[in-house]
Amino acid sequence: MTVRNADRDDVMAVCRFGEEHVRAHYSPLIGEEAAARQVRKCWNETDIACAVARGSVVVADEGGYLAGVGQRGRDGDEHVIHKLCVHPRHRGDGLGARLLGVLIGQLPADAERVYVEHFVANEPAAAFCEREGFTVERIERGVVRRVRDLR
């Protein structure tokens, strides 16, 4: 399996990945309507195409099959992991950590920390973040914001 920067030919596959897997994962956690809103907001063609053009999306490609997606970005001055999603059949096999490692490796050398957010009800995401060295910074409106020191 190859983890690589996404290109414009990957945009629609990334959008489909969000619709098929992210929505299904979020629905039991936050409800069907909220999950659908989240996918429309964060996994739409316009936003994904812009992020791909900026070079901030990576994909795990298994012979043309999309096995995972990661996206980094900024929130003001802070570096943030916006997406880190793995196909259900690859959860627990280290792919999430590989995607995260590539995203962190793309941050500027002087980056001191990176942030990630997940829904409170997303216990697998919480466990993953803890294993990967993220600590809770705050919890607001059902969302956990975590930070990892990179120094």
Mean pLDDT, the chain, rounded, equals: 95
Q: Are 11 and 52 in contact (CB under 8 A)?
A: yes
Q: How confident is the model at residue 91 (pLDDT cuts 50, 70, 90)?
A: confident
The CA dihedral of 101, 103, 108, 112, to the nearest 10 degrees, is -60
Kindly state which CATH superfamily the domain 2-149 is placed in. Answer: Gcn5-related N-acetyltransferase (GNAT) (3.40.630.30)
Lowest mean pLDDT among 86-95, 108-117, 122-131: 86-95
